[in-house]
Amino acid sequence: MSSTPLRVLLSRRCCDILVLSRKAAAQRARWRLFVVLPGPADDWPAFEWPTSRRHMIPTPDERARALASLGYCLAPDAAWSWTEDETPDYHDHPRAVSLLGSTVVVPLPDGA
């Protein structure tokens, strides 16, 4: 595994558009973290927190544990940056502001 720094994104999924009920779709909202790799997004390593945590931003320790479970850790001197975005208007609910986190990671050293 290369030690080239990679970008990690943390976002809160606003709903599950595959669920027919608006209320049920919103209740399936969850925070997810994924490592951006070359290739299709479906192949990116990802971690999702339970829907019961949908209103709580994962703490730095929780993010570190999630990264470790995927085989990564923060790059030296890396810090999380945050930005706001709007949820897409094609979902069956009003637009809302969503929070996006981003940082740089490297693979965990062998044996870690």
Positive or negative: CA dihedral 28, 14, 101, 97: negative
Mean pLDDT of 83-103: 73
**Looking at the domain assignment, is residue 103 inside a domain?**
yes
**Looking at the domain assignment, is residue 56 inside a domain?**
yes
d(CA 25, CA 17): 6
Which residue range is the domain that position 18 belongs to?
Answer: 6-107
**80 pLDDT more than 80:** yes
**Looking at the domain assignment, is residue 58 inside a domain?**
yes
List C-alpha distances in Å: 3 to 56, 106, 108, 109, 111: 31, 6, 8, 8, 14
**Looking at the domain assignment, is residue 70 inside a domain?**
yes
Q: Number of folded domains in the chain? A: 1
Mean pLDDT of 2-21: 70
**Looking at the domain assignment, is residue 112 inside a domain?**
no
**Looking at the domain assignment, is residue 1 inside a domain?**
no
pLDDT for the residue numbered 85: 75
